[in-house]
């Protein structure tokens, strides 16, 4: 009897210790997506890694999917590392790609073309196909070089760095054609072009929504445009920095935000925008610009545009006039 009581007491102590241990560590529990092993995989999540992933190449992972839809979306998860890709990475509708952070996951390509077409882009977007938490680098000595191109396909880019350089004539960080593109908490760097540079080129009834973006253009020749809108496009820019270097050798003109299409509209707030020839500029267009809480070294608009300004100031702190000219 005494021995039985001893076993009962010992069992109670061990059970209490186990419960205490589980309680103490539950708050520190980390949920991870396993890249391999005997664990049951999560549905519609495909992993890519140099070791222990479902695939070692992102293109192979995308091409393996044939049944994605709005009710059956997929997510491709890229492990840390650099992934050199031969040719274009063409996304699929309802298939999103996420990395392990823009500092740790990189997609690297060398895609360009003779003209301004989708074929000159490294990443080709798709409907409801998000890109997040990685870096995209495209560098090649072709006439035209594009980092990401989306055409009539609404998509979102977040926490992503896009780097483009090496074009012989013109290069574009992101091209948005007749689509709604949302770009959040991201960076665009455009350097070393032999011609015209564009951070974002949005045109043909496109809608562009940008927030918390850091853009830097430092090209050697031609004209530089931070955000270029054309052909009845709408743009919303907030909490962003657009830094355009206008002192490079061979640089002709530089603009932070440039609108060159009739009936285009721009809503710009709480941002810092620079450009020697115009931080915010309406080229030959008849457009409307709504600007508030923007700091600039040179903020102007073409006389044919209608401008509404509130709390717009030079870096020196002096307010600009009501027409932002």
Tens-digit pLDDT profile for residues 167-187: 999 999 999 999 999 999 999
Which segments in the chain show pLDDT lower than 70?
1-41, 245-251, 261-262, 278, 282-325
- Residue 178 in tokens: 């007749």
CB 26 within 8 A of CB 44: no
CB 280 within 8 A of CB 256: yes
Helix (H) or strand (E) holding 138: strand 131-139
pLDDT at 231: 73
SS3 percent helix, strand, coil of the chain, rounded to 5, is 10, 45, 40
pLDDT at 221: 76
Exposure b/e, 260-279, CB count within 10 A at least 16 = b? bbeebbbbbbebbbbbbbbb
| Ramachandran category for residue 284: left, alpha or beta (phi over 0 → left; psi -120 to 50 → alpha) | alpha
CB 96 within 8 A of CB 75: yes
Q: Classify 23 as helix, strand or coil.
A: helix
Per-residue pLDDT reduced to its tens digit, 211-257 = 999 999 888 778 889 999 887 788 899 889 888 866 655 567 888 88
Q: In 3D, which of 238, 244, 223 has the Cα closest to residue 298?
A: 244
How far apart are the C-alpha atoms of 222 and 132, rounded to whole Å? 31
CB 84 within 8 A of CB 108: yes
How far apart are the C-alpha atoms of 298 and 255, rounded to whole Å? 10
How far apart are the C-alpha atoms of 55 and 64, rounded to whole Å? 10
pLDDT at 194: 73
What pTM, to 2 d.p., does this model score? 0.80
Percent of the chain scoring above 70 in pLDDT: 70
Phi, psi of 36 (to 5 degrees): -170, 180
- Residue 161 in tokens: 């760095």
Q: Can you give the residue ranges of every domain in the chain?
A: 1-29, 76-314
Q: 76-314 — its CATH code?
A: 2.160.20.10
């Amino acid at each position: 009897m005494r021995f039985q009581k001893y076993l009962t007491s010992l069992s109670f102590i061990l059970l209490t210790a186990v419960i205490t241990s589980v309680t103490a560590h539950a708050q520190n529990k980390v949920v991870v997506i396993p890249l391999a092993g005997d664990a049951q995989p999560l549905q519609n999540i495909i992993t890519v890694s140099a070791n222990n992933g479902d695939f070692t190449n992102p293109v192979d992972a995308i091409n393996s999917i044939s049944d994605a839809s709005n009710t059956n979306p997929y997510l491709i998860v890229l492990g840390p590392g650099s992934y050199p890709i031969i040719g274009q990475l063409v996304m699929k509708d309802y298939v999103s790609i996420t990395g392990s952070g823009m500092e740790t996951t990189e997609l690297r390509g060398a895609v360009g073309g003779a003209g301004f077409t989708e074929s000159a882009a490294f990443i080709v977007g798709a409907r409801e196909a998000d890109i997040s938490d990685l870096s995209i680098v495209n560098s090649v000595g072709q006439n035209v070089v594009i980092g990401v191109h989306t055409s009539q396909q609404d998509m979102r880019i977040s926490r992503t760095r896009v780097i483009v350089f090496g074009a012989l004539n013109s290069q574009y960080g992101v091209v948005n054609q007749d689509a709604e593109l949302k770009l959040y908490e991201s960076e665009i760097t455009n350097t070393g072009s032999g011609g015209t540079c564009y951070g974002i080129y949005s045109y043909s009834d496109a809608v562009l929504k940008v927030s918390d973006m850091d853009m830097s253009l430092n090209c050697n020749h031609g004209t530089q445009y931070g955000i270029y809108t054309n052909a009845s496009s709408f743009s919303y820019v907030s909490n962003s920095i657009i830094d355009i270097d206008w002192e490079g050798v061979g640089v002709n003109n530089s603009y932070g935000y440039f609108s060159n299409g009739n009936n285009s509209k721009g809503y710009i707030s709480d941002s810092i925008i620079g450009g020697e020839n115009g931080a915010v500029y309406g080229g030959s267009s008849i457009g409307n610009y709504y600007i508030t809480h923007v700091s600039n070294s040179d903020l102007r608009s073409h006389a044919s545009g209608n401008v509404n300004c509130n709390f717009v100031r030079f870096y020196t702190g002096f307010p600009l006039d009501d027409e932002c000219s």
